[in-house]
């Protein structure tokens, strides 16, 4: 059966602020699901959207799928339980930078470490929106908010680098307004066996407007971001004339044709490289020194937690003579009273 985006739209009124980046992500996901369903043969009832607390966590209500809007920070744990209990489900965690990197940081890194086969979409607007404008774990150093009137004095997390540190097997980054790229990434995330973390650089139009605009504004986007493609040279720029090379231990942006640089000198993206060293460097690129990396930065194969749990259960059930509780209760040290 073929689906259309309309099949995944619930009858609930979408209550995000007009102009919020979340609308675009919702649209991209609703467009991606028919494609995923076709590629993987998923029926509609197999999707479960799980969220924590925050603006983005209202997401499940707008999807005509199974959904669980849970409590602050715990979506990764709830999604983990769902997936382990029923590995045939396609489990999606929709979360924000506060939800997943502050109160839920522990669950995020452990989900990634276990490589549980869920897809985590992290809406990063670098602010607490639902509580009306306090700094978040991704707010840049010095950010002035209601709770940091003199500027924050703490380093932000880089979600990609954090995921790599937790031995992540899939990390991708997109921009809320890049609908097509977001849609493609969602499809790839769904296809990946293991925890797929997708960071969406998303705009909060009310409390942190234009936080990403320095790289995302239409006229500068091509020069200040790079969309990485597996197996392709790292080229970016409006005129496709810029690229990335490795200069000693560091990445460096160069212009093709200057100083004798040709396309052959550029790094070729390998998302499937097991060693995550260069993937972390790509995650941490920041403009103006370097373009911000978008696309699939890392995608490597590894065993998934839910598969291994299921396999252990199957293997032991096949090996054991104990078939039911009555068998089990009568096994081991027992004695008979006549």
Partner 1 sequence: MPHKVIDVQNVVIRFTGDSGDGMQLTGSLFADTAAFFGNDITTFPDFPAEIRAPQGTIAGVSGFQVHIGSSAIYTPGDYCDVLVAMNPAALKSNVKWLKPNATIIVDIDTFDKKGLEKAGFTTEDAFAELNISDRNIIAPPITTLTKESSTLCGIDPKSGVRCKNMFALGICYFLYNMPLDHTEKFIRKKFAKDPALIDINLRILKDGVNYASNIQAIADTYIVKPSKQKPGIYRNINGNKAIAWGLMAASEKSGRPLFCGSYPITPATGILEELAIHKELGVKTLQCEDEIAGICTAIGASYAGSLAVTSTSGPGLSLKSEALGLAVMAELPLVVIDVQRAGPSTGIPTKTEQTDLNQALYGRSGECPVAIIAPHSPSHCFEASFYAAKYALEHLMPVIILSEGFLGNGSEPWRIPDINDYPSINPPLIQELEEGEPHFYPFKRDPETMVRRWALPGTPNLEHRVGGLEKNHKGAVSSDPLVHQQMVNERAEKVARLARLIPPQSVIGEQEGDILMVSWGGTYGHMLNAQSQLHSDGIKVGLAHFDYINPLPLNTEEIFGRFKKIIVFELNSGHFANYLRSKMPQFTYLQYNKIQGQPFIVTEIIEAINKIVK
Question: Which one of residues 20, 26, 32, 79 is an interface residue with partner 1 (CB under 8 A)?
Answer: 79
Only one of the segments 24-32, 38-46, 181-189, 261-269 lies at the binding site for partner 1 (rule: CB under 8 A); that segment is: 38-46
Closer to partner 1 at the Cβ: 83 or 298? 83
DSSP states of 4-69 as a string? -GGGGB-SSPP-SPTT-THHHHHHHHHHHHHHHHHHHT--GGGEEEEE-SSSGGGGGGGBSSEEEE
Closer to partner 1 at the Cβ: 13 or 219? 13
Going from the C-alpha of 188 to that of each of 65, 119, 193, the distances in angstroms are: 20, 10, 10
User: Does 291 interact with partner 1 (rule: CB under 8 A)?
Assistant: no
Chain positions 294 to 313 lying near partner 1, rule: CB under 8 A, are 309, 312-313
We find the least distance from the C-beta atom of residue 118 to partner 1, in angstroms, to be 10
How far is the C-alpha of 197 from the C-alpha of 67, rounded, in Å?
A: 19
Only one of the segments 75-83, 138-146, 238-246, 290-298 lies at the binding site for partner 1 (rule: CB under 8 A); that segment is: 75-83
User: Does 194 interact with partner 1 (rule: CB under 8 A)?
Assistant: no
CA distance between the termini of the chain: 64
Residue with token string 């027992």 = 334
User: Does 230 interact with partner 1 (rule: CB under 8 A)?
Assistant: no
We find the least distance from the C-beta atom of residue 37 to partner 1, in angstroms, to be 13
We find the least distance from the C-beta atom of residue 86 to partner 1, in angstroms, to be 4
Chain positions 314 to 333 lying near partner 1, rule: CB under 8 A, are 316-317, 319-320, 322, 324-326, 328-330, 332-333
Q: What is the CA radius of gyration of the chain?
A: 22
Largest CA distance in the chain: 96
Closer to partner 1 at the Cβ: 110 or 230? 110
Question: Which one of residues 2, 18, 41, 88 is an interface residue with partner 1 (CB under 8 A)?
Answer: 88
Residue with token string 């607007």 = 125
User: Does 3 interact with partner 1 (rule: CB under 8 A)?
Assistant: no
Secondary structure of residue 152 in the 3-state scheme = coil
User: Does 150 interact with partner 1 (rule: CB under 8 A)?
Assistant: no
Cis ω before 288 (30° cut-off from 0): yes
Chain positions 6 to 25 lying near partner 1, rule: CB under 8 A, are 10, 12
Pair 13, 55: CB distance under 8 Å? no
Q: How far is CA 49 from the centre of its chain?
A: 13
| Strand ranges inside 139-229, DSSP E | 170-175, 196-201, 225-228
We find the least distance from the C-beta atom of residue 39 to partner 1, in angstroms, to be 19
The site for partner 1 (CB under 8 A) is made up of 10, 12, 43-46, 48, 50, 53, 60-61, 64-71, 74, 77-86, 88-89, 106-107, 110, 309, 312-313, 316-317, 319-320, 322, 324-326, 328-330, 332-338
């Amino acid at each position: 059966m073929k689906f259309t985006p309309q099949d995944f739209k619930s009858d609930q009124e979408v209550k995000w602020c007009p102009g919020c980046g979340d609308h675009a992500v919702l649209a991209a996901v609703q467009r991606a699901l028919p494609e995923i369903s076709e590629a993987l043969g998923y029926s509609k009832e197999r999707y479960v959207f799980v969220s924590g607390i925050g603006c983005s966590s209202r997401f499940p209500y707008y999807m005509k799928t199974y959904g669980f809007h849970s409590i602050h920070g715990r979506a990764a744990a709830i999604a983990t339980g769902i997936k382990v209990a029923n590995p045939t489900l396609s489990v999606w965690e929709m979360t924000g930078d506060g939800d997943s990197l502050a109160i839920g940081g522990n669950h995020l890194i452990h989900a990634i470490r276990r490589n549980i086969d869920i897809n985590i979409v992290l809406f990063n607007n670098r602010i607490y929106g639902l509580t009306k404008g306090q700094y978040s774990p991704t707010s840049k150093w010095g950010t002035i908010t209601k709770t940091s009137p003199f500027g924050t004095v703490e380093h932000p997390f880089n979600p990609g680098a954090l995921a790599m540190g937790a031995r992540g097997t899939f990390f991708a980054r997109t921009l809320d307004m890049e609908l097509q790229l977001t849609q493609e990434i969602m499809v790839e995330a769904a296809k990946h066996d293991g925890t797929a973390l997708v960071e969406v650089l998303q705009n909060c139009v009310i409390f942190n407007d234009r936080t990403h605009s320095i790289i995302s504004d239409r006229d500068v986007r091509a020069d200040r971001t790079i969309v990485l493609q597996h197996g392709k040279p790292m080229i970016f720029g409006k005129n496709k004339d810029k690229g990335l090379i490795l200069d000693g231990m560091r990445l460096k942006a160069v212009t093709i044709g200057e100083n004798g640089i040709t396309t052959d000198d550029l790094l070729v993206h390998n998302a499937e490289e097991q060693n995550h060293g260069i993937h972390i460097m790509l995650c941490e690129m920041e403009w103006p020194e370097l373009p911000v990396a978008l696309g699939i930065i890392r995608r490597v194969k590894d065993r998934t937690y839910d598969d291994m749990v299921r396999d252990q259960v199957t293997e032991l059930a096949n090996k054991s003579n104990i078939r039911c509780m009555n068998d089990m209760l009568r096994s081991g040290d027992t004695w008979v009273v006549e």
